[in-house]
Chains A and B, each alone.
Chain A
Amino acid sequence: MRLTLKIWRQENATAKGSMQTYSLDGVSPDMSFLEMMDVLNEQLMGQGIDPVAFDHDCREGICGSCSMFINGEAHGPDRLVTTCQLHMRKFKDGDTIHIEPFRAKPFPVIKDLVVDRTAFDRIQHAGGFVSVNTSGNTQDANAIPIEKVNADKAFDAAACIGCGACVATCKNASAMLFVSAKVSQYALLPQGQVEATERVLSMVKQMDEEGFGNCTNTGACEVECPKGISLENIARMNREYLSANVKG
């Protein structure tokens, strides 16, 4: 396959960036998208051009590092995959592919396609935990049975990989899907109940302080989420938030 790549290049956080065009030949349909980028970078280095910086690590769709906006979609055209699991067989010979970073004010660009997503960590610092110390003396794991349907739903919410596709996709750069996934996981489990009120208030407050936009129920986040996190979580967080405000 022969491709034309239009890629966002930006030297550092303060530099002005622009789209640059590169052509790449000999791409195999069995390559992952990131392996195609590796081949491009080898070619660029051979031409004395700085390789394109991008985040990646596990390359099996679970670490949440990779974060490319491909042809106007977070993680590209395939559904329920991250960029590292997207394969070139989804493209055709002669295609032009536009590759940009995940764009949002709270995700400043570090270099090229690499963005700073530590805002997500700070939201978790605000309340994304159960306050239990390590002791070896917590109660037996089977002491509290948990209804299977709730345990499964908590798991589905906890499957979020924190990649930020929801924010990059949202026209308002809202982080509601990400935050609600964590709030829901704990709201559905008895272990999370004790701190539920404080958790949802603190996490939403931090989310707002980071500068993420509001949710207007468009639902694009759910469509683009590589882990299929459901909008139901946003509804649940809204209920949690409302009742926390009434209590609080």
Chain B
Amino acid sequence: MATLDAKIPEGPIAEKWTNHKNNIQLVSPANKRLIDVIVVGTGLAGGSAAATLAELGYNVKAFCFQDSPRRAHSIAAQGGINAAKNYQGDGDSTHRLFYDTVKGGDYRSREANVYRLAEVSTNIIDQCVAQGVPFARDYGGLLDNRSFGGVLVSRTFYAKGQTGQQLLLGAYSAMNRQIGRGKIKMYNRHEMLDLVKVDGKARGIITRNLVTGEIERHAAHAVVIASGGYGNLFYLSTNAMGSNVTASWKIHKKGAYFANPCFTQIHPTCIPVSGDHQSKLTLMSESLRNDGRIWVPSKKEDAKAIREGRLKPTDLAEEDRDYYLERRYPAFGNLVPRDVASRASKERCDEGYGVNATGEAVYLDFADAIVRYGKEKAHVKGLDENDMALVQKLGKEIIKAKYGNLFQMYEKIVDQNPYETPMMIYPAVHYTMGGVWVDYNLMTTIPGCFAIGEANFSDHGANRLGASALMQGLADGYFVLPYTIGDYLADDIRTGPISTDTPEFEAAEKDVRAQIDAFISNKGSKSVDYFHRKLGKIIWNKCGMSRNESGLKEAIEEVKALREEFYNDVFVPGTADSFNESLAKAFRVADFLELGELFAKDALERTESCGGHFREESQSPEGEAMRDDANFAFVSAWEYKGEPSEAKLHKETLNYENIELKTRSYK
């Protein structure tokens, strides 16, 4: 087993990034004009990187599979973005954000990267406000904050429940300015289907135009992968339908190591599955846990009566309710981190306390918050605090102002009014902490190939804290990559344009065409979706919120068998040279079928529990996750060797010099 060098700069942690920036190579403005960079994906990471690189003077080619960069899935992020501004004066600081993130990640992230993330977080808010991002403000006109899980300060900036949308539109506006100047050439409805390496370096990509089916070659001096996470491996997730692992997987197959694939975030507050027709799951923002209290009935017979429709939750007296997060974790209560909250819900439902027809739902209740806000408002207005009808009315108005769009979304989907009856929620796959391995410079193990945002693995360890994904995407794209990529490109100023008319491009294109032909001519009997659903079921049941050795071994065999069946029996209708969604999906699902096996293999090797990775064999008597720092304080980085089962493990040892490794406790 080889070890990996993360190229972490020397020196005290608070000075590493500044020193590094002072010492890396720069590319002069005149030379930047001679250098081309490809960015795949236009979410927060890709969009901000493309815009910033173009502002600096590089020639950027940006690619997205959607019909506009504005539709990348960062748009759906709801709750907020963290930054150590300490505007609330509640004791926040760069160090505290750093500490919370490392602890929240259950001590499986890289200290130096996380510190840098915390350090640049404040710049992000400044930058976004300067772009005209309309964050929520208080009556004094200053920025408002709220709290998210796993922390004891209010450092989350937000724009109602549409923070991701507003930040993405900010990055999109910065891109638009550069597209207008001709510095970004935008390729909408294009999917990257392979990476091209020349002399060991990333020098271009092969894409398919999703409208015309045309296969295109694109060359550059560096390739940046910003294509997001792989939650759709589970079929049902809160990811967009098109979110996929293909760009990351293609570079993995060309030499980029894939790190911690089994680290997945199962988000505690999603709308439960309603039936077999379900195509995706919808998140209810973590911000709701600021005011919502999570509970199930304390008696099994009440839970059963509710499931059978004989009892309503609002009929249940206070003493018959089990606010299990407040009971188990008094210090953090409903705002424990996501992995802890999800497991606690699963535990209650598995024990028979679930509250919907399928038995897989718990309540998220706003009744107390409505009364609390209503009384406060009545007091401020000098009205009668004991007039419950008035208090209810005022309280609901405040809840509506804070979470109105989420409540409306819930009502449309579930057909129940959450102002009157508690929401029903259940955990669902939301984010993947694992991803392409990168060093401190965000470069993969392929020279010239970078990975940023959710596509890489570096900042969140085994569990991501709420409102940190937006922070990482924008930190990587606006403030980290634009520096570190220059250090690499400084050696390329004399290279000149990269030609696509070379044997390397020809070979890569040929492979893509062969795969397309194979899919179209296969004429099997089952749709691509059939395989995707089946894969999702295997992964959810055996590699989901809790995992054990025998289940993981079965998953490996089942995924392998499903992959064989897929290649033998998949049916892809239509033609290669037209708009063909089934064909696009076939490529994505083919890659998920390989990733799925590596995912289970990674989960099998890591016999400890940490963060979102819960091995049943490694838990405390109270059912809390038990880490094994002596044997597993490392990043698992997998090298592709032909088949997922042959993948070779490389370890990056995680050294904690600034934070003491402790058992994570939110009690």
Contacts and interface: CB of A to CB of B under 8 A. Distances in A.
A185 B132 contact: yes
Given A57-B66, A129-B174, A151-B141, A134 B76 contact: no
Contact of A134 (B173, B174, B573, B582): B174
Given A141-B143, A142-B87, A130 B180 contact: no
Nearest to B141: A145
Given A39-B277, A151-B137, A191-B132, A138 B126 contact: yes
Contacts of B169: 158
Interface in B131-156: 131-132, 134-143
B240 interface: yes
Contacts of B128: 141
Contacts of B62: none
A139 interface: yes
Given A57-B241, A159-B165, A148 B137 contact: yes
Given A121-B176, A138-B126, A141-B125, A58 B73 contact: yes
Interface stretch (B344-352, B407-415, B508-516, B644-652): B407-415
Interface stretch (B47-55, B105-113, B546-554): B47-55
B67 interface: yes
Interface residues of A, number: 74
Interface in B399-418: 408-409, 412-413, 415
Given A62-B162, A129-B131, A134 B71 contact: no
A85 B76 CA distance: 14
A4 B587 CA distance: 33
A215 interface: no
Contact of B71 (A32, A64, A189): A64
B75 interface: yes
B93 interface: no
A58 B412 contact: no
Interface residues of B, number: 81
Contacts of B134: 151-152, 154-155, 158, 185, 189
Contacts of B275: 28, 30-31
A151 B136 contact: yes
Contacts of A135: 127
B392 to A, nearest CB: 24
A19 interface: no
Given A42-B527, A117-B67, A124-B176, A85 B413 contact: yes
Nearest to B70: A162
Contacts of A220: none
A132 B186 CA distance: 20
A125 interface: yes
Contacts of B659: none
B68 A117 contact: yes
Nearest to A129: B173
Interface stretch (A48-56, A168-176, A232-240): A48-56
Max chain A CB contacts within 10 Å: which of B68, B135, B283?
Answer: B68
A191 B241 contact: no
Contacts of A95: none
A111 interface: yes
B463 to A, nearest CB: 23
Nearest to B128: A141
A130 B132 CA distance: 7
Interface in B151-176: 159-160, 162, 164-166, 169, 172-174, 176
Contacts of B581: 51, 53
A-side interface mostly? loop
A81 interface: yes
Given A53-B581, A158-B166, A191 B131 contact: yes
Contacts of A138: 126-127, 129-130
B277 A57 contact: no
B334 to A, nearest CB: 23
Contacts of B136: 151, 155
Contact of B415 (A45, A55, A89, A114): A89
Nearest to B83: A141
Contacts of A110: 211, 579
Given A121-B68, A134-B55, A139 B240 contact: no
Contacts of B179: 121, 125
Contacts of A142: 87, 142-143
Contacts of A62: 75-76, 162, 164-165
Contact of A32 (B138, B279, B582): B279
Contacts of A186: 132
Given A146-B137, A155-B166, A159-B162, A61 B67 contact: no
29 contacts: A12-B579, A30-B275, A31-B275, A51-B574, A56-B241, A58-B71, A58-B75, A59-B282, A60-B409, A63-B71, A63-B75, A63-B240, A80-B408, A85-B413, A114-B579, A116-B67, A121-B69, A126-B180, A129-B174, A134-B51, A135-B127, A136-B120, A136-B126, A139-B130, A151-B137, A158-B166, A158-B169, A189-B134, A191-B131
Interface of B: 48, 51-52, 55, 66-71, 73, 75-76, 85, 87, 120, 123, 125-132, 134-143, 159-160, 162, 164-166, 169, 172-174, 176-177, 179-180, 186, 188, 211, 238, 240-242, 274-275, 277-280, 282-283, 408-409, 412-413, 415, 478-479, 482, 527, 529, 571, 573-574, 578-579, 581-582
Interface of A: 11-12, 28, 30-32, 34-35, 38-39, 42, 45, 50-51, 53, 55-65, 78, 80-81, 85, 87, 89, 110-111, 114, 116-118, 120-121, 124-126, 128-136, 138-142, 145-148, 151-152, 154-155, 158-159, 161-162, 185-186, 189, 191-192
For the complex of A and B, 7 pairs with smallest distance between CB atoms: A145-B141, A129-B173, A155-B134, A125-B180, A136-B123, A141-B129, A138-B130
